[in-house]
Amino acid sequence: MTGWIAIAGLGPGDERLVTEEVRATLAEATDVVGYIPYVARVTPRDGLTLHPSDNRVEIDRANHALDMAAAGRRVVVVSSGDPGVFAMAAAVFEALERRPDPAAFDIRVLPGITAMLAASARLGAPLGHDFCAINLSDNLKPWDLVERRLRLAARAGFAMAFYNPRSRSRPHQFGRALEILREECGPDRLISFARAVTTPDERLETVTLAEAVTEMADMRTVVIIGNADTRRVGRFLYTPRSAG
């Protein structure tokens, strides 16, 4: 097999945050596969075929990439942020596991700057101590599991970063998440909403849990809630590296 697959992260939005490794790999590719808005970030050129697809066909997309690589194509599967964080790397490996000859494929994962880390950098250092990331979408897992993980992470004292907090198809669930966080963390915990970080549409807002409302978040928002020690210093937030 002469083809290969690179699973690449395009970063949070600013083209300056795409790594040189990813740029060089895209320059070698014959095909780019991914969700429609992410493929749109790749500049067309002669010899490169773009394969945009809808958001809920991850396994189909992964199988398409594997089939093209098996046929000798040089395929880049693109995600925003980092491909290993709620993105396409896991989908490719899930599809690969079903193949009779997984060791025959030449696959690389190329890291990118995920929105969680870009948002944290904009805010200061709210993830400066132990933290976790939770995808609030229930498309691929039941909502009761989301609620359980929220409660346990809050009780363990983690700072938390939330992906996919609220969409048109599930507008009420983020409100329920805020209720759980108020129950477990209290009303004074700081929570930040970082929308479209590193793009011209960027918006940052930090409030207390008591002040937070569902309309502050959408699918382009990463939500970061600090732990009990997270505090403000000037215009920044930070979580101390020491814990009592």
Q: Give me the DSSP letters along 79-142.
A: ESB-TTSSSHHHHHHHHHHTSS-GGG--EEEE----HHHHHHHHHEETTSSSEEEEE---SSS-
Same domain, residue pair 169 and 75: no
Last residue in a domain, options 83, 113, 143: 113
Over pLDDT 90: what percentage of the chain? 91
Same domain, residue pair 46 and 75: yes
Residue 9: pLDDT band by 50, 70, 90 thresholds? very high
Q: Is the pLDDT at 201 greater than 80, yes or no?
A: yes
Residue 217: which CATH number? 3.30.950.10
Same domain, residue pair 52 and 159: no
Same domain, residue pair 47 and 159: no
* Domain region containing 37: 4-113
Residue 17: which CATH number? 3.40.1010.10
Q: Are 102 and 59 in contact (CB under 8 A)?
A: no
In sequence order, the 6+-apart residues with CB closer than 8 A to the CB of 215 are none
Q: What pLDDT score was predicted for residue 7?
A: 98
Same domain, residue pair 65 and 127: no
pLDDT (tens digit, 9 = 90+) per residue, 93-152? 999 999 999 999 999 999 999 999 999 999 999 999 999 999 999 888 999 999 999 999
Same domain, residue pair 135 and 232: yes
By residue count, the chain amounts to: 244
Residue 244 lies in a domain: no
Q: Is the pLDDT at 243 greater than 90, yes or no?
A: no
Same domain, residue pair 198 and 231: yes
Q: What pLDDT score was predicted for residue 58?
A: 92
Same domain, residue pair 193 and 177: yes
Residue 82 lies in a domain: yes
Last residue in a domain, options 113, 141, 162: 113
Over pLDDT 70: what percentage of the chain? 99
- Identify which has the larger pLDDT, 24 or 169: 24
Q: What pLDDT score was predicted for residue 244?
A: 67
Q: What pLDDT score was predicted for residue 138?
A: 87
Same domain, residue pair 204 and 234: yes
Last residue in a domain, options 113, 135, 157: 113
Strands (DSSP E) along 111-239, which ranges? 124-125, 131-135, 159-163, 190-195, 203-208, 221-225, 231-233, 236-238
Same domain, residue pair 231 and 149: yes
Task: Count how many domains the chain has.
Answer: 2
Mean pLDDT across the chain, nearest whole number? Answer: 95
Burial degree of 125 (CB within 10 A; 0-12, 13-18, 19+): middle
pLDDT (tens digit, 9 = 90+) per residue, 153-195? 999 999 999 999 987 777 788 999 999 999 999 999 999 999 9
Same domain, residue pair 122 and 226: yes
Residue 239: pLDDT band by 50, 70, 90 thresholds? very high
Residue 198 lies in a domain: yes
Helix axes 173-185, 143-155, angle to 10 degrees: 20
Same domain, residue pair 233 and 149: yes
Residue 243 lies in a domain: no
